[in-house]
Chain A
Amino acid sequence: MATAPVQRTNPAFYALLIALVFMSVGPVALMFINSFKLDVDIISGTSGLIFMPTIQNYETALCDILPYELDHLDFCSLKFGEAFINSLIIALISTALTLIIGCMAAYALVRFKFMGRDTASFTTLMVRMVPPAVLLVPVFGLWNNEFCIGRSTMFGEFWRDTFGGRGDLCLAGTYGGIILVYVAMNLPFVIWILQSFIVQVPRSLEEAARVDGAGPFRVFFLVVLPLIKPGLAAAAIFTFRIAWNEYLLASALSDRDTRTVPILIVNNMSEFNVEWGVIMATGMLLAIPPILFTLFASRQIITGMTAGAVKG
């Protein structure tokens, strides 16, 4: 890319730059600081920075997986540790599945001419705009009532005998149920974004591999995939972000054992006790992966964003 000539810059620009950085990071920093304060300190708010930092909020949040008993708690109501693990399982598996399935489809759309290609391509583009709220009612109905295996069928009986639980086996309340929605929701985006990366892979490389006798799947996995790594990284981050952050569908589909972190946070904003400290601590924990991505993969994220918008 052409480098712009070095201009003599006004200090005002630096002031603006600093102000902008402060504005985007400030709220997060505020949450970070408050998560180490006791509620009394947050509410009395005598001063912003002078306080005794405490990890009590984090202890309260993680009480179900800490190996030791806490003195300030009579009982552990917040099952945050469990939810954190649920979130991880759901986000990781759905990201992996979305990527594999998505880049196969993107490859087919870019490299092959076949009947129904235009329809597939157009449909993918259109379903991208479907908001999760629109899926709420049908997914709720289907996952709870239709996508079930009767408890008295052979498989159902086997499952209940082996794994326990009660009632018909339905997708709702299982990891699989939530993962399925997330994969479906993210696929259009991933297919769209990866197309623009696959287009750039030189055909000659694939031809060469094919001449060497490699089948289409070998070519895809051994030649194409390694070349679109940056695209995959970007797509992975965006997919993970949605699966990790999503609240609405997860709250409709999860049960006691599969609740994710966002659900817990919303539940904890309940009316009787706004315990700011603990809520900020849970918020901070939920924000860890996004913060890590921001710090270590900002280049990929920006590439992904521009590819998504510019090459549309």
Chain B
Amino acid sequence: MLKTLVMATASVALMAGAALADPYEEFRDTTLIVNFPAHPHYDAVMRILPEFTKETGIEVEVDQLPYLKMRERQTLELAQDEGEYDLIAYVVFSKADYVFADQLENLAKYFMNPKLADPNYDADDLIDGYVYNIGFAGGSKGYLEGKTGSLFGIPYGSETSILGYRKDIFEKHGLEVPETYAEMLELACKIPELEPGMGGVASRAASGHHASHAFLLHLNPLGGAIFDDQWNPVMNNEAGVEAANALKTLVDCGPEGATTFGFGEALGAFLNGDTAMFLDTTVVAGQIDDPSKSSVVGKVGWALHPMGVERASQTGGFGIGIPANAENKEAAFLLMQWLTSKKGDKLVAMAGGNPSRFSTHADPEVNEKFPHMATFGEALQHADPDWRPIIPVWGKINADLGTTLSKVLTEDLDVQEALDGVAERTKAVMDEAGYYTWQ
């Protein structure tokens, strides 16, 4: 009696196994250690990870760090023979370092593996600019897509710049939402007159990465660039000066203490109703609608990043990739695929993250919950994958640029002179790194 029961159970189990071939079966009870940034998108990811574990039986342990710390930690971990992390999220400019040092897995072999690759993944649905910006390396300029390039990561948490504005203030004074840079700058300085105590645009400006980021935000739309096609620094040309002046205008007409604002402070000012506009990443939408953090819930409208000579919003955010020294690479791939699949992308969008697929931005359910999603989707199509150079020496140039710009903002250093200085030092850095070898 007992024996037959056991037999029956066993055969049922066998049949079930055969009927539902589970690609995750082999990795059940594996624990993946992943390194994610402390960032609203990845906070949303934390909320959906239990779903992954429930579905696949793969446990995920997350080490969440602020992203500069995360990069430091990864530098160290990836250089070891055997690393701790199975999956990492990385910022765009880390791509150059990691790929160059052969520290990230080329994803081709996983997508070729029929046991791992999901045929319904639909990679064409991923937003092109981001795949090129974050995932590809080896193509055009060495760091973009192109005939010689290949894929090392998948964008996850795609941000672009967007203009948030206070609908109530704009209505009250009969203002038009700015379409161009000229309009935005004019409006930015008009707001403090119309609404005493309120700043125009909240922008980052703090020394270093923040100031540099804010400058780059204006550089491309105004027709400037960091380098020309021969890697000569051109951030000090007319467009560069215009971008720096735009930043200065925004900060001067911004809220109190604007010169020290990092991203958090700038966002805080907007959340607190201290400014009428906010020009930065799309990642903030979740917090603006959160009544425990924001006093402007329901008062914010969204518009595309204003035009200069062209529409070019930033490409920011993170990608996820598998370290070459990881222990559980295949399980890590499964997690990566699950997170970036249509289903995962929608789940994370519903949890307040930044989706990376066209279909998610068009999804009616997502749009119902987050009405701004359609505008964001449109903005993403204008995102410029080459809005900043992704080369190993960028960190150094970025730091110099950010420090110098902060001096322009706080110490009234002449803009042209300051940028000339940056250009000169950049040239030296580039020369030393060998970018002029072929000239």
The reply, when asked whether chain A contacts chain B directly with Cβ atoms under 8 A, is yes
What is the interface of chain A, defined by CB distance below 8 A to chain B? 38-40, 43-44, 74-75, 77, 144, 151, 165-168, 251, 255-256, 267-268, 270-274
Is the Cβ of A74 less than 8 Å from the Cβ of B38? no
The answer to whether B66 touches A271 (Cβ under 8 A) is yes
In the bound assembly, the distance between CA atoms of A256 and B295 in angstroms comes to: 36
Bound-complex Cα distance A251 to B68 (A)? 13
Chain B interface residue bracket vs A: 35 or more
User: Are B292 and A270 touching (Cβ within 8 A)?
Assistant: no
The CA-CA distance from A120 to B82 in the complex, in Å, is: 41
- Residues of chain A with a CB closer than 8 A to B25's CB: none
Which residues of A sit under 8 angstroms from B39, Cβ to Cβ? Answer: 272
Are B81 and A167 in contact, CB atoms less than 8 angstroms apart? yes
Give every chain B residue within 8 A of A167 (Cβ-Cβ).
Answer: 80-84, 325
Question: Can you identify 24 A-B contacts, CB atoms within 8 angstroms?
Answer: A40-B292, A43-B268, A74-B43, A75-B43, A75-B46, A75-B47, A77-B43, A77-B46, A151-B82, A166-B327, A167-B81, A167-B84, A168-B81, A255-B73, A256-B33, A268-B38, A270-B66, A270-B67, A270-B264, A271-B66, A271-B210, A272-B39, A273-B40, A273-B293
Would you give the shortest CB distance from B217 to chain A, in whole angstroms? 16
Q: Give residues in B with beta carbon < 8 Å to A.
A: 33, 38-40, 43, 46-47, 49, 63-67, 69, 73, 76, 80-84, 210, 262-265, 267-268, 272, 283, 287, 292-293, 295, 325, 327
Would A77 and B80 be within 8 Å (CB), given that A270-B66, A272-B264 are in contact? no
Contact between chains at A256 and B64 (CB < 8 Å): no
Instruction: Given A272-B263, A274-B268, verify A255-B84 contact (CB < 8 Å).
Output: yes
Question: Which listed residue (A74, A165, A166) contacts B46, Cβ 8 A?
Answer: A74
Min CB gap B200→A, angstroms: 21
A83 CA / B26 CA spacing, docked (Å): 34
CB-defined contacts of B76 to chain A, threshold 8 Å: 144
Q: In the assembled complex, which residues on chain B have CB atoms less than 8 Å from the CB atom of A274?
A: 264-265, 268
Name which of A151, A168, A256 has the most chain B CB atoms within 10 A of its CB.
A256
Contacts of B263 in A (CB 8 A): 271-272
Q: Name B38's contact: one of A39, A40, A251, A272 (CB within 8 Å).
A: A272
Cα distance, A87 to B159, chains bound together (Å)? 37
In the complex, A209→B352 CA distance in Å?
74
Taking a contact as CB atoms under 8 Å apart, the answer to whether A272 and B80 are in contact is: no
B326 CB to closest chain A CB, in angstroms?
A: 9
Complex CA–CA separation, A62 to B264 (angstroms): 24
A256 to B265, CA, bound (A): 28
**Chain B nearest Cβ from A6, distance in angstroms:** 51
CB-defined contacts of A165 to chain B, threshold 8 Å: 84
Instruction: Judge whether A77 and B264 touch: CB under 8 Å.
Output: no
Which residue of the partner chain A has the closest CB to B79?
A144
Give min CB distance, B78 to chain A, whole Å.
Answer: 11
With both chains docked as a complex, state the minimum distance between the C-beta of B380 and any C-beta of chain A, in angstroms.
20
Report the minimal beta-carbon distance from A268 to chain B, rounded to whole angstroms: 8
CA distance A224 to B327 in the complex (A): 54
| Bound-state Cα–Cα, A268 to B47, Å | 19
In addition to A75-B46, A271-B262, 6 A-B residue pairs with Cβ atoms within 8 Å of each other are A39-B292, A165-B84, A168-B81, A270-B38, A272-B264, A273-B264
Q: Which of B64, B66, B83 contacts A166 (CB under 8 A)? A: B83
A251 to B65, CA, bound (A): 12
Least distance between B133 CB and chain A CB atoms (Å): 21
B293→A267 contact, CB < 8 A: no
- Give CA–CA (A271, B47) in the complex, Å: 21
Chain B residues lying within 8 Å of A77, measured Cβ to Cβ, are: 38, 43, 46, 64
Contacts of B66 in A (CB 8 A): 267, 270-271
